[in-house]
Amino acid sequence: MSTQFTDPRDGRTITAPANGRDVADPANATGSANGTGTNGTGTASATGAVNAAGPAGDVVFLGLVRSEWTKFRSLRSTWWTLALTVAAMIGLAVLLCAMAADDGTTLDPEYADFDATAPSLGGALLAQITIGVLGVLMITGEYTTGMIRATLTLVPRRLPVLWAKAVVFAGVAFALTLVTGLLSFTVGQAILAGDDLSVSIGSPGAARAILGCAFFLTAVGLLGLAIGALLRSTAGAVSALLAVLLGLPMVVGLLPASMQSINRYLPASIGEVLISTQGSGNSFSPGTAAVMMTVYLVVTLVAAAIVLARRDV
């Protein structure tokens, strides 16, 4: 029982046996889908046996972390934003410390109150934007290009993908901002040392501020990742993140004086606490600030996870 069709391109008649194997055209048998060398010519293996020695193992979390690391490192935008983060932190440290050195010696005789750590970590103000954008891009880049469909087809349980992204991002961001923070501190103190304003890393709060800076910047990036997962668009997520970090303090600033106490709950204020050696009067302690930042982060990540698990892609 064979069926004939006329090839539309050259008018040749092609015979296709009803059992699906093409005997009229031996070339068709060469298209073996099995790259391991099984010859596709008629010798069909039993169902299931095909998979027995297949190349793919089960999906495990470590594999997803590897996969996300490959995705992360194989994009130019990653290295650009990381480079900008480093440049912002060290560049601003140099700039702010040089200015402080100037001020401290010539204008301010009461520099006993001077927090020498602050100008050397001041770059975090700029770095929070670049690291936040990097967090956003880590997931919106998949949505805007359609890559997310390939990713979620391979990991239909979905949530492990989000956690793997968070692990890779947090690892890279924390290590980088910690090292860069140390560098900024060292460079900044070297500049301040010329005017005898510098402190050592052993001075009260200095090491904690460097650690707090790395923690805050990592948390901001993860917040970007979560917001990116929620909004799926790069522009939307970056705008939302900037609104939270920079917009909210401005809005609160417009409110009556009685409502200014809201300010200390904002991520921006929490960041200030984490990055300074001395808490200001009406702020939380660094420990409380770290807990609050964690709560914000967990809430946003959980929201992102719920939406990711339910939504069609």
Partner 1 sequence: MIEARGLTKRYGEKVAVEDLSFTVRPGVVTGFLGPNGAGKSTTMRMILGLDRPTGGTALIDGRPYRELAAPMRHVGALLEARAIHTGRSAANHLLALAQTHGVARRRIDEVIELVGLRDVAHKRAGGFSLGMGQRLGIASALLGDPSTLILDEPVNGLDPEGIRWIRDLLRGFAAQDRAVLVSSHLMSEMALTATELIVIGRGRLIQETSVADFVRAASGNRVHVRSPHAAALAEILVREGATVTATPDPATTRLPADPPGHQPAHQPAHRSGPTPDQVSAAIGTAETIEVAGLASARIGELARAGGIALHELTPRLVSLEDAFMNITRDAVEFTNAAPAGIGANR
CB of 166 to partner 1, least distance (A): 16
CA distances from 52 to 59, 63, 154, 155, 295 (A): 16, 20, 19, 20, 46
Residue 313 CB, shortest distance to partner 1, in Å, is 5
In order, the DSSP letters of 298-310 are HHHHHHHHHHHHH
Contact at 8 Å (CB) between 123 and 88?
yes
Task: Read off φ and ψ for residue 6, nearest 5 degrees.
Answer: -95, 125
Considering beta carbons, is residue 63 or 91 the nearer one to partner 1? 63
Q: How far is the CB of 177 from partner 1 (least distance, A)?
A: 24
Q: Which is nearer to partner 1, 5 or 265 (CB)?
A: 5
φ and ψ of 16, to 5 deg: -120, 105
269 token code pair: 């204020």
DSSP 246: I
Question: How near is the Cβ of 15 to partner 1 at its closest, in Å?
Answer: 10
Q: Which is nearer to partner 1, 68 or 272 (CB)?
A: 68
- The nearest distance, CB 138 to partner 1, in angstroms, is 11
- C-beta of 159: minimal distance to partner 1 in Å? 11
In the complex, least distance from residue 6 CB atom to partner 1, rounded to whole angstroms: 8
Within 10 angstroms of residue 117's Cβ, the number of other Cβ atoms is 29
CB atoms within 10 A of CB 102: 11
Between residues 7 and 113, which has the closer beta carbon with respect to partner 1?
7
CB-based contacts of 140, cutoff 8 Å, min separation 6: 228, 231, 232, 233, 234, 237
Closest approach, Cβ 21 to partner 1, in A, equals: 6
Nearer to partner 1, 77 or 200 (CB): 77
Contact 237, 231 (CB under 8 A): yes
Instruction: Please say which residue, 125 or 148, places its beta carbon nearer to partner 1.
Output: 148
Identify the bridge partners of residue 4 per DSSP, sorted by sequence position: 15
Shortest CB 62 distance to partner 1, Å: 9
Please state, in angstroms and rounded to a whole number, the distance separating the CA atoms of residues 74 and 66. Answer: 12
Q: Which two tokens stand for residue 143?
A: 């949505």
Query: Between residues 31 and 253, which has the closer beta carbon with respect to partner 1?
Result: 31
Distance, CA of 158 to CA of 30 (rounded, Å): 37
Name the token pair of 191.
């500049």
Q: What is 86-99 written as a DSSP string?
A: HHHHHHHHHHHHHH
User: In this complex, which beta carbon is closest to partner 1, that of residue 76 or of residue 281?
Assistant: 76
CB nearer to partner 1: give 152 or 170. Answer: 152
Place of tokens 């900044």: 188
Please state, in angstroms and rounded to a whole number, the distance separating the CA atoms of residues 213 and 89: 10
